[in-house]
Chains A and B, each alone.
Chain A
Amino acid sequence: MQFLNSIGQRVLFGLVLLLAVLVLNFTLIHMAPGDPADVIAGEMGGATEEMMASIRKAYGLDRPFHEQLFSYVGKVFQGDLGYSYYFDQPVTELIFERLSATLLLVLTSLFLAIFLGTFLGVFASQNPNGMLSHFVTLLALLGYSLPVFWTGIMLLILLAAPPVDLFPIAGMYDVTKDGGTFDYILDVLHHLILPVVTLSTIYLAFYSRLSRASMLDVLGADYIRTARAKGLSERVVVYKHALRNGVLPVVTFAGLQFSQLFSGAVLVETVFSWPGLGTLAFDSIGRRDTPMLLGILFFSALIVIVANILTDISYRLIDPRIKTGMKT
């Protein structure tokens, strides 16, 4: 009951956050110079004054700011994120077209980073001065210090361009390939490798380091000594008693970092022409497609909030001590 109650509170607060996100973003974006009429004129290779005025009128840009804001917020809460200036299509539709690609990239990277990182960290923690431990430290430093887009460019040039040519250079799948669903999945996986490797490098580094530190901490805990004193094998001690406690900070951070993962996705998608929300956001900035940009910011905030709530739930499932409120 208490559990549901506090989840309910989280959801409610999430809604308030979303409202704040809407208002802030709308205000920010409307402060910027230039408007979509300029973009459309540019796309068209020039436009007359009357045309510019008619574009502004068509998109309601001639109305006072607060009116635009209220009508926007009102529509959003009815599930309508408006129409893209550029595509003249509903923003929600355009976002859903791209959402799966971004989620595929981001979640694959995140889970890869968490699982691989945790296991590297666990192995390293069992022998804190061993080779593997040093390797994890080194990996963490590399992953942390490399600019993610730079890593991407280097991988692209080294592994996808001739003469090595091991991976496709752009996109999510090859349209010219005909084949069944299985071939399609293989093709997508093939395209996914480089972007995921690039994006997960930072997080792999981060999680292996985090879980190494956390496991070292946990392995020194009294209850681990208790477990050993019971005669449990080292495997059970590490994977049953230590791991479940050791992953708690990993879970916390996985939720917190979701928004940063989106940031990384903008850069990685740009490098690999990945057809996701990141490229859409970047392009929308270039096109000053305000509704699109607002929609993406709103959506990413929504996803982060949902991810945080899920994190919260899984944290509660792992750690029975947490009963109420957020773990900070």
Chain B
Amino acid sequence: MTDQVEPSAPAAPKLEPDFVPEVEKPWLQTWRMFAKNRAALFGLVLLSVIVGMAVLGPTLYPADPYDIVWAPQSPPGTEGFILGTDYLGRDLLAGIIYGSRATLIVGAAAALITIVIGILVGALAGYYRGWVEELLMRITEFFQVLPPLLLAMVLVLLFSPTLVTISIAIGVVSWTATARLARAEFLRIRELEYVKGARSIGARNSRIIWLVILPNAAPPLIVSAAFAVGIAILFEAGLSFLELNDPNIMSWGYMIGSNRPYVLESWWAVTFPGIAIFLTVLAVSLIGDGLNDALNPRLRQR
């Protein structure tokens, strides 16, 4: 190590008055780093508001988003409809509130699939190396050469669009980056002393993979999961824009897709769901950024 002063080094923790040399719990340390990042906190607040809207909104604003409540294409503010109505005369605010559920569910589910496949492939490839790695990375590369949206379109087309098929299609086409990341982490960590130690005392491979390496590989994977949520939400919107969606489930993407032909008459019906998507993805990526800074071991050790 160089003895050059690292300028961005955080001060040693000064909370404990008696300098107990006990190491702070990692998650607490992470949270402290995270909380120092104003942008990340803003993202967290924003996401909480959106999630709160998804959970409580329908109770606070009990309107069926499918009901025709007023004249079609009424501008925002008409008769108390804050965001106006769409081409059928449905309340856009109700749509945004109910739509947040489907959007968030697809985002979370697709991200989960992305992460699970990605970690599974990456972990096995990075841990076992050899032909396993060769095979899995070739498969990864195979999925990387296909344009994800085209492939997702074909998949959704094949299994008809529902929340489940859309989530799966998005997950199936977007796991490759996570797999590469997971592999790199596993390659790095498997050579570290404590892993070698665990192996030398005869721990089973599955134990080493899931209980020894994975927790240590988690930080970058958590960050990648946060970004996967954002990507999945954008993906769902893109598919909806191409009308590959389920009209029986109110989602922001559906709102944009179905209102798009009417955009010249009622800009609001496309604009508001677009802003909702933007804010959600923004929130998620701010959180991802914050986690990235907070979890980055290089930054933390300084």
Which A positions have Cβ atoms within 8 angstroms of B? 13, 17, 20-21, 25, 28-29, 31-32, 141, 144-150, 153-154, 157, 161, 256, 259-260, 262-264, 266-267, 270, 281-282, 285, 293, 296-297, 300-301, 304-305, 308, 328
B281 at the interface (CB under 8 A from A): yes
Whether A28 and B180, one on each chain, are in contact in the complex, defined by CB atoms closer than 8 angstroms, is no
Q: Provide a sorted-by-A list of 19 A–B residue pairs whose CB atoms are within 8 angstroms.
A: A13-B141, A17-B141, A21-B145, A141-B285, A145-B230, A146-B281, A150-B241, A154-B274, A259-B147, A260-B147, A263-B149, A267-B241, A267-B242, A270-B242, A285-B157, A296-B150, A300-B150, A304-B145, A328-B180
Answer whether A300 and B147 are a contact pair too, CB < 8 Å, given A144-B230, A150-B237, A285-B154.
yes
Whether A150 and B277, one on each chain, are in contact in the complex, defined by CB atoms closer than 8 angstroms, is yes
Whether A144 and B281, one on each chain, are in contact in the complex, defined by CB atoms closer than 8 angstroms, is yes
CB-CB under 8 A from B260, the residues of chain A are: 153
Determine the distance from Cα of A56 to Cα of B151 in the docked complex, in whole angstroms.
25
Q: How far is the CB of B144 from chain A (nearest CB, A)?
A: 6
Total contacts A-B at CB 8 Å = 123
Partner of B285, one of A28, A145, A149, A161: A145
B234 at the interface (CB under 8 A from A): yes
CB-contacts of B174-195 with A (<8 A): 180, 183-184
At the interface, is chain A mostly helix, strand, loop or mixed? helix
Determine the distance from Cα of A25 to Cα of B153 in the docked complex, in whole angstroms.
12
Determine the distance from Cα of A104 to Cα of B155 in the docked complex, in whole angstroms.
28
Determine the distance from Cα of A149 to Cα of B238 in the docked complex, in whole angstroms.
7
- Give the residue name and chain of the B residue nearest to A267 (CB): B238
CB-CB under 8 A from B137, the residues of chain A are: 328
Answer whether A150 and B147 are a contact pair too, CB < 8 Å, given A141-B285, A293-B154.
no
- Give the residue name and chain of the A residue nearest to B139 (CB): A20
CB-CB under 8 A from A281, the residues of chain B are: 150, 153
Q: How far is the CB of A250 from chain B (nearest CB, A)?
A: 16
Partner of A297, one of B146, B180, B234, B237: B146
Partner of B144, one of A153, A256, A296: A256
Partner of A145, one of B263, B270, B281: B281
CB-CB under 8 A from A293, the residues of chain B are: 154
At the interface, is chain B mostly helix, strand, loop or mixed? helix
Whether A153 and B270, one on each chain, are in contact in the complex, defined by CB atoms closer than 8 angstroms, is yes
Answer whether A21 and B285 are a contact pair too, CB < 8 Å, given A147-B237, A147-B274, A267-B242.
no
Partner of B142, one of A17, A262, A328: A17
Whether B234 and A141, one on each chain, are in contact in the complex, defined by CB atoms closer than 8 angstroms, is no
Determine the distance from Cα of A266 to Cα of B146 in the docked complex, in whole angstroms.
13
Partner of A260, one of B148, B183, B184, B286: B148
CB-CB under 8 A from A328, the residues of chain B are: 137, 180, 183-184
Q: How far is the CB of A141 from chain B (nearest CB, A)?
A: 6
B211 at the interface (CB under 8 A from A): no
Whether A29 and B150, one on each chain, are in contact in the complex, defined by CB atoms closer than 8 angstroms, is no
Whether A147 and B146, one on each chain, are in contact in the complex, defined by CB atoms closer than 8 angstroms, is no
Which B positions have Cβ atoms within 8 angstroms of A? 137-138, 141-142, 144-151, 153-155, 157-158, 180, 183-184, 230, 234, 237-238, 241-242, 256, 260, 263-264, 267, 270-271, 274, 277-279, 281-282, 285-286
Q: How far is the CB of B226 from chain A (nearest CB, A)?
A: 12
Answer whether A263 and B148 are a contact pair too, CB < 8 Å, given A141-B285, A154-B274.
yes
- Give the residue name and chain of the A residue nearest to B239 (CB): A267
Closest 3 CB pairs between A and B? A263-B149, A262-B147, A145-B281
Determine the distance from Cα of A149 to Cα of B241 in the docked complex, in whole angstroms.
8
Whether A150 and B270, one on each chain, are in contact in the complex, defined by CB atoms closer than 8 angstroms, is yes
Whether A262 and B158, one on each chain, are in contact in the complex, defined by CB atoms closer than 8 angstroms, is no
CB-CB under 8 A from B145, the residues of chain A are: 17, 21, 259, 301, 304-305, 308
Determine the distance from Cα of A264 to Cα of B242 in the docked complex, in whole angstroms.
12
Determine the distance from Cα of A28 to Cα of B137 in the docked complex, in whole angstroms.
22
Besides the known contacts A260-B147, A300-B146, 18 further A-B residue pairs in the complex with CB atoms under 8 A apart: A28-B154, A29-B154, A144-B281, A147-B234, A147-B241, A147-B274, A150-B237, A150-B241, A153-B270, A157-B264, A161-B264, A259-B145, A260-B148, A263-B148, A263-B150, A282-B242, A297-B154, A328-B183
Determine the distance from Cα of A263 to Cα of B282 in the docked complex, in whole angstroms.
21
CB-CB under 8 A from B264, the residues of chain A are: 157, 161
Whether A262 and B150, one on each chain, are in contact in the complex, defined by CB atoms closer than 8 angstroms, is yes
Partner of B274, one of A17, A28, A31, A150: A150
CB-CB under 8 A from B153, the residues of chain A are: 266, 281-282, 285
Q: How far is the CB of B147 from chain A (nearest CB, A)?
A: 4
CB-CB under 8 A from A301, the residues of chain B are: 145-146
CB-CB under 8 A from A297, the residues of chain B are: 146-147, 150-151, 154
CB-CB under 8 A from B237, the residues of chain A are: 147, 149-150
Whether B256 and A267, one on each chain, are in contact in the complex, defined by CB atoms closer than 8 angstroms, is no
Determine the distance from Cα of A264 to Cα of B231 in the docked complex, in whole angstroms.
13
Identify the interface centre among A149, A153, A264: most chain B CB within 10 Å of its CB. Answer: A149
Partner of B154, one of A25, A161, A262: A25
Q: How far is the CB of A55 from chain B (nearest CB, A)?
A: 21
Partner of B149, one of A21, A146, A154, A266: A266
CB-CB under 8 A from A32, the residues of chain B are: 154, 157-158
Q: How far is the CB of A295 from chain B (nearest CB, A)?
A: 12
Determine the distance from Cα of A9 to Cα of B129 in the docked complex, in whole angstroms.
20
Determine the distance from Cα of A13 to Cα of B134 in the docked complex, in whole angstroms.
12
Determine the distance from Cα of A301 to Cα of B158 in the docked complex, in whole angstroms.
20
Answer whether A259 and B146 are a contact pair too, CB < 8 Å, given A29-B154, A285-B157, A328-B184.
yes
Determine the distance from Cα of A29 to Cα of B155 in the docked complex, in whole angstroms.
9
